[in-house]
Structure 1
């Protein structure tokens, strides 16, 4: 996350933040394709991500 935040800051996007969430490890809160593949599960659920820009 540090590299991505650095690149965003260099591009002038200083309000970006890493939330410290791990979608693969936190099965109670997130679906994870990567986790389902590692566990050989049939369905991996669905998840959506978004980036919001003010202005």
Structure 2
């Protein structure tokens, strides 16, 4: 029987982005993962705006 999930393309860079975030969460062990995620991605977006790809 085949996989019922449709093939959904994964954007380039998403896997590394999520891996980096998960490693940071595992290292820091925050009590508030959602708050930490908001802060992490806000800082990352700021850095990306300073140094566009």
TM over 0.5: no
Higher helix share: 2
Structure of higher RCO (CA pairs closer than 8 Å, 6+ residues apart): 2
